[in-house]
Amino acid sequence: MSDTEVIVLGKNGQLGSEWLETLQKKGIRVKGYSSSELNITDSNRIEEILDTEKPKLVINASAYTKVDKAEEEWKIAFEVNGKAVGELAKACQKRSIKLVHYSTDYVFSGSESDIQEFPAGYSENHPLAPQNQYAISKLMGELYIREQMTDYLIIRVAWLCGKNGNNFIKTMLRLGKERPELNVVNDQFGAPSFVDNVIENTIALLNIQAKGTFHIASKGLTNWYEFAKTALELKEMQTVVNPISSNAWPSPVKRPSFSKLSTAKIEMLDGVKLEHWTEGLKRLISTLD
């Protein structure tokens, strides 16, 4: 008999690694698996681990996240983000294990006109309209969970940033040390999700035994240029940040012009603590060298 309470999949990523740290500090019996230790597409191995460990909760922080490459490697993206998530959901449902799964703002259209039409951001029940292969694969995972399970949390996040792993802010700080100037797009808008706040509010949802789909992101609205410029200023770096159009930074995939997730639904619940993106950024910067 195992005494594992929680299993974290994707323990090497910025979300999974901080989940592991948080639960260990709380004295919760947790076991983490990296993608090299456990291939999420291996459904037989997943079932073996669930039967051995007998967890009460599985946190799926693993994903195929190479947005550009997914256009070519769509089969892999669909296997990891779609089919494998469906099999995981089925296995959890069979054993009465709650599943927490992280999804993305990319499941929405992200069109420029939505900035004016939905200033508070996309609600959880806003029409879904993924615009690239990565987005479609993530939506597949959501649909499979809803089809297979009754006790689940699907948490959508946007512009995820934390102290571990790789993310936009850490990249900007690194480049800021290497270059006198940086060019950053200023016509893609959103509100970042900070890993520690995402975990804190996911725990709040678990504490009240919430089920269903929720958005966790910061308050306010910014763009990549302002986000980068503010981070460098907080670090007291002298790097010049130039605003540029998305057209000057060609991408093989269509990226959202608007990524803000509405948090009105989760704000109504007990124990939830959301913050303005500038506050989250200050806290993140204070943890980085």
d(C-alpha 254, C-alpha 57), whole Å = 35
Task: Give the phi and the psi of residue 115 in degrees, each rounded to 5.
Answer: -60, -40
35 by DSSP, 3-state: which? coil
Q: CA 25 to CA 21: how far, in whole Å?
A: 6
Q: Which residue has the tokens 């770096």?
A: 237
Strands 98-104 and 181-185: unpaired
Catalytically annotated residue among 33, 122, 134, 225: 134
Q: Can you tell me the distance from the alpha carbon of 282 to that of 280, in angstroms, rounded to the nearest whole number? A: 6
User: Is the distance from CB of 206 to CB of 57 less than 8 angstroms?
Assistant: yes
Token pair of 276, please? Answer: 């303005």
Tokens 């996309």 label which residue?
122
CA distance 273 to 267: 8
For 106, the token pair is 């990319």
Tell me how far CA of residue 171 lies from CA of 3, 104, 161, 253, 276, in angstroms.
39, 20, 11, 20, 22
Contacts of 99 (CB under 8 A, 6+ apart): 57, 58, 60, 88, 89, 92, 145, 149, 151, 152, 153
102 in catalytic set: no
Distance CA 218, CA 197 (A): 9
What's CA 38's distance to the chain center, in Å?
Answer: 20
Catalytic residues: 134
